[in-house]
Amino acid sequence: MTDRIVLAYSGGLDTSVAIGWIAEATGAEVIAVAVDVGQGGESLETVRQRALDCGAVEAYVADARDEFAEQYCMPTLRANGLYMDAYPLVSAISRPVISKHLVAAAQQFGATTVAHGCTGKGNDQVRFEVSIQTLGPELKCIAPVRDLALTRDKAIDYATAHDLPIETTKKNPFSIDQNVWGRAVETGFLEDIWNGPTKDVYDYTDDPAFAPAPDVVTITFDQGVPVALDGETVTALQAIEQLNRRAGAQGVGRIDIVEDRLVGIKSREVYEAPGAMAMIAAHRELENITLEREQARFKKTVDQRWTELVYDGQWFSPLKANLDAFIDETQKYVSGEIRLELHAGRATVLGRRSETSLYDFNLATYDTGDTFDQSSARGFIDIYGLSAKTASQREERLHGKPDLSGAGVQK
């Protein structure tokens, strides 16, 4: 029986050429797998037919938009997932769901190998292959660009020579990856980190310098997940899509960073994630009023480690599952409403309301009705500062009093 290889197929030039390129290089039959995670563009049927026209023996297509939104984007939101405090894991969270479907297709069609279009310099090769090895340990992985020397110039020449039904051009300077959670742009003139992004870099967001009138939206959360916008019930996918449109119109969610890649190099990346960044801002504020202080402090540590694991391709790892359990427990009271103003590139919290809030007006107020017993403060301070005071007394006993004569003197 002829070997079969499953290929992660986008419908673009590189993966269309890879179908025939892999078949010629390995002698195997190629099954193309296309997964819709909200990247837009052509229909799945169009992509499926192109794969067959380019030589695939089978084409597996999956509409995974709701699955991606509910099972990957929402956990990222609950973890406030921002790598280097900036990047909302746009590409990192799409790779495990695509890998899941690649493994399912390999098992369905009897393939022994999975192929993807990543280079040897990026994070995605790790994300795909670690996920595939975890879900299908019996499968091998290859990457035509990395392993079979398939360059873009070779891809264009191959497509032209074989008259493949795909547009070929050497003019597009950018490498773009997008889904419903956001859009990632790199390469081209952006590789010179002194260059600022030009307007043609952006697609999901309008220029915040020319923003329309402020847009105020109320997001209702249930256990850390948005369930309504302005009182209208929404699914996870609908919440992201609607906030992409509304926040994007205000230029919210533009990110330009030099990022520490898993492979050890620094890379300049430009992202657009209007809905994601608006929701993370709202979710963080709702946690501020519903999480107990020590719980909230520790969750920041968990969120950061969770984000690093996901960025590094460890979505299906045991530690990630352990951290998921902790995050799930923290979210049981993260329910309520956050009112956001979207304007000129910013998502600003205007109001918060929750039945499970820990904010007590009568404890917080300085006006009539204050129920806080201020007489308790003196004893608390004495005990709270006791260890530092004891250590200071030891220093004085052994070394004398510190010289404070110049303290606070401005010269």
Name the most confidently modeled range: 39-43, 285-289, 376-380: 285-289
- CA angle 294–297–303, rounded 5-degree value: 135
Q: Of 317, 21, 57, whose CA–CA distance to 148 is shortest?
A: 21
Q: What is the CA radius of gyration of the chain?
A: 26
- Tokens 């929701």 sit at which residue? 279
Identify the sign of the CA torsion 283, 285, 287, 293: positive
Identify the sign of the CA torsion 318, 180, 17, 201: negative
Question: Would residue 252 count as lying in a domain?
Answer: yes
* Number of neighbours of residue 248 by Cβ within 10 angstroms: 23
Residue ranges of the annotated binding site for ATP are 8-16, 117
- Tokens 């009182």 sit at which residue? 231
Question: Would residue 25 count as lying in a domain?
Answer: yes
When pLDDT is cut at 50, 70 and 90, the band that residue 408 belongs to is low
Q: Are residues 54 and 187 in the same domain?
A: no
Per-residue confidence (pLDDT) for residue 355, from 0 to 100: 98
Helix or strand holding residue 228 (H, E): strand 225-229
Q: Are residues 189 and 165 in the same domain?
A: no
Strand pairing of 266-272 and 254-260? antiparallel
Domain at 143, CATH number: 3.40.50.620
**Between 119 and 206, residue with greater pLDDT:** 206
Question: Would residue 366 count as lying in a domain?
Answer: no
pLDDT in tens, 85-97: 999 999 999 999 9
Per-residue confidence (pLDDT) for residue 150, from 0 to 100: 75
Q: Are residues 188 and 281 in the same domain?
A: yes
Q: Are residues 48 and 164 in the same domain?
A: yes
135: its two tokens: 């879900």
* Over residues 238-247, mean pLDDT: 98
Q: Are residues 126 and 262 in the same domain?
A: no
Count of alpha carbons within 13 Å of 94, Cβ hemisphere only?
24
When pLDDT is cut at 50, 70 and 90, the band that residue 11 belongs to is confident
Per-residue confidence (pLDDT) for residue 84, from 0 to 100: 97
Orientation of helix 44-53 relative to helix 13-26, angle to 10° = 40
State how far the Cα of 229 lies from the Cα of 93, in Å rounded to an integer. Answer: 24
State how far the Cα of 351 lies from the Cα of 337, in Å rounded to an integer. Answer: 8
State how far the Cα of 149 lies from the Cα of 154, in Å rounded to an integer. Answer: 9
Per-residue confidence (pLDDT) for residue 20, from 0 to 100: 92
Q: Which of 320, 353, 386 is the last residue of a domain?
A: 353
Per-residue confidence (pLDDT) for residue 389, from 0 to 100: 95
Q: Are residues 347 and 202 in the same domain?
A: yes
Q: Range with the lowest mean pLDDT among 173-182, 211-220, 324-333?
A: 173-182
Q: Are residues 121 and 199 in the same domain?
A: no
When pLDDT is cut at 50, 70 and 90, the band that residue 266 belongs to is very high
Per-residue confidence (pLDDT) for residue 351, from 0 to 100: 98
Beta strands in 67-199 (DSSP E): 113-115, 140-142, 175-179, 182-186
Q: Are residues 334 and 233 in the same domain?
A: yes
Average pLDDT in the chain: 93
- Tokens 């209702």 sit at which residue? 220
Question: Would residue 359 count as lying in a domain?
Answer: no
Helix or strand holding residue 393 (H, E): helix 386-399
Question: Would residue 395 count as lying in a domain?
Answer: no
Burial, 401: exposed, middle or buried (Cβ in 10 Å; 0-12, 13-18, 19+)?
exposed
pLDDT of residue 75 exceeding 90, the answer is: yes
pLDDT in tens, 328-353: 999 999 999 999 999 999 999 999 99
pLDDT of residue 238 exceeding 90, the answer is: yes
When pLDDT is cut at 50, 70 and 90, the band that residue 165 belongs to is confident
What residues are labeled active site?
14, 95, 124, 175
Q: Which of 310, 335, 353 is the last residue of a domain?
A: 353
397: Cα separation from own chain's centroid: 55
* Residues, the chain: 411
pLDDT of residue 37 exceeding 90, the answer is: yes
**Between 120 and 249, residue with greater pLDDT:** 249
pLDDT of residue 231 exceeding 90, the answer is: yes
* Number of neighbours of residue 244 by Cβ within 10 angstroms: 25
Contact yes or no for 295/334 (Cβ under 8 A): no
Contact yes or no for 216/101 (Cβ under 8 A): no
78: its two tokens: 């609950």
Per-residue confidence (pLDDT) for residue 155, from 0 to 100: 78
357: its two tokens: 């809030």
pLDDT of residue 222 exceeding 90, the answer is: yes
Question: Would residue 28 count as lying in a domain?
Answer: yes
- pTM exceeds 0.75: yes
Contact yes or no for 239/66 (Cβ under 8 A): no
Per-residue confidence (pLDDT) for residue 224, from 0 to 100: 98
Question: Would residue 363 count as lying in a domain?
Answer: no
pLDDT in tens, 344-397: 999 999 999 999 999 998 888 888 888 888 899 999 999 999 999 999 999 999
Contact yes or no for 84/258 (Cβ under 8 A): no
Domain count, the chain: 2
pLDDT of residue 325 exceeding 60, the answer is: yes
* Number of neighbours of residue 328 by Cβ within 10 angstroms: 13
Per-residue confidence (pLDDT) for residue 338, from 0 to 100: 98
When pLDDT is cut at 50, 70 and 90, the band that residue 168 belongs to is low
pLDDT of residue 69 exceeding 90, the answer is: yes
Q: Are residues 153 and 200 in the same domain?
A: no
* Over residues 280-288, mean pLDDT: 98
Per-residue confidence (pLDDT) for residue 409, from 0 to 100: 56
Question: Would residue 401 count as lying in a domain?
Answer: no
Q: Are residues 130 and 26 in the same domain?
A: yes
Domain at 265, CATH number: 3.90.1260.10
Domain that holds residue 341: 176-353
Query: Alpha helix locations (H) across 229-354?
Result: 236-249, 274-290, 293-311, 318-330
Per-residue confidence (pLDDT) for residue 369, from 0 to 100: 82
Q: Range with the lowest mean pLDDT among 12-16, 144-148, 167-171, 174-178?
A: 167-171
- Tokens 């590094």 sit at which residue? 312
The fraction of the chain above a pLDDT of 70, given in percent, is 97
At 183, phi and psi to the nearest 5?
-140, 135
Q: Are residues 140 and 22 in the same domain?
A: yes
Q: Are residues 31 and 63 in the same domain?
A: yes
pLDDT of residue 62 exceeding 60, the answer is: yes
Residue ranges of the annotated binding site for L-aspartate are 119, 123-124
Q: Which of 353, 372, 394 is the last residue of a domain?
A: 353
* Over residues 64-87, mean pLDDT: 98
